[in-house]
Structure 1
Amino acid sequence: MTSDTRPNALLRRGLMLILSSPSGAGKTTISQMILDRDAEINLSVSATTRPIRPGEIDGVHYHFIDQAAFDQMVEAEEFYEWATVFGHSYGTPKSQIRAGLKEGRDFLFDIDWQGTQQLYQKDQQDVVRVFILPPSIEELRRRLTGRGTDSAQVVQARMDRARAEISHWDGYDYVVVNDDVEACYTQVCEVLHAERMKRARQTGLIEFVRGLMRD
Structure 2
Amino acid sequence: MTHSAYSPRPQRTGFLVAMVGPAGAGKNQLMNDVINRYQGQMPVVRQFPTATTRPIREYEQDGREHHFVSVERFKHMIAHNELIEYQQVHGTERYYGMPRETLELGLEAGEVLIADIEYLGALRVKELYPDHVITVFIMPPSVSALIERMRIRNTEDETEISKRLLRVPAEVNFASQCDYLIINDAFDYAARLLNGVIAGEINRRNKQSILASTMLGKFEYIVRVVAVGSDNQVLNTSDLTTASAPLNYGTPPFEVAVALARSAFEANLDVSRMVTGDRKPDDEYIPPMQLTYERLDKGERIYFTYGYRTTPVEQPSPAQPVDVSSRG
Same-fold status (TM-score > 0.5): yes
Distance 1:54 1:194, change over 3 A: closer
Unaligned runs of 5+ in 2: 1-11, 221-298, 300-328
Distance 1:149 1:177, change over 3 A: same
| Alpha-carbon distance, 1:29 to partner | 1.4
1:43 partnered with 2:38 = no
| Alpha-carbon distance, 1:25 to partner | 1.6
Partner of residue 30, structure 2: 30
Counterpart amino acid of residue 41 in structure 1: V
Q: Is the 8 A contact 1:13 1:202 kept in 2?
A: no
Q: Is the 8 A contact 1:19 1:130 kept in 2?
A: yes
Larger Rg: 2
Partner of residue 81, structure 1: 85
Q: Pairwise CA RMSD of aligned residues?
A: 3.2
TM-score normalised over the length of structure 2: 0.52
1:129-171 CA distances to partner (integer Å, 9 max, x unpaired)? 0001112334334434555666655544333322231111112
Distance 1:173 1:56, change over 3 A: closer
Q: Is the 8 A contact 2:140 2:183 kept in 1?
A: yes
Distance 1:151 1:104, change over 3 A: closer
Counterpart amino acid of residue 86 in structure 2: W
- The structure with the largest helix share of the pair is 1
Unaligned runs of 5+ in 1: 1-11
Q: Could you tell me the percent identity over the aligned residues?
A: 28
Alpha-carbon separation, structure 1, partners of 2:104 and 2:172 = 30
* Equivalent residues in 2 for 1:1-215, closer than 5 Å: 13-39=13-39, 40-49=44-53, 57-65=61-69, 67=71, 69-85=73-89, 86-147=92-153, 154-199=160-205, 201-202=206-207, 204=209, 212=218
Distance 1:37 1:168, change over 3 A: same
Counterpart amino acid of residue 35 in structure 2: L
| Alpha-carbon distance, 1:53 to partner | 6.9
Distance 1:53 1:198, change over 3 A: closer
TM-score normalised over the length of structure 1: 0.76
- The structure with the largest strand share of the pair is 2
1:43-90 CA distances to partner (integer Å, 9 max, x unpaired)? 111234456677865434433455555445334433222112330333
Partner of residue 287, structure 2: none
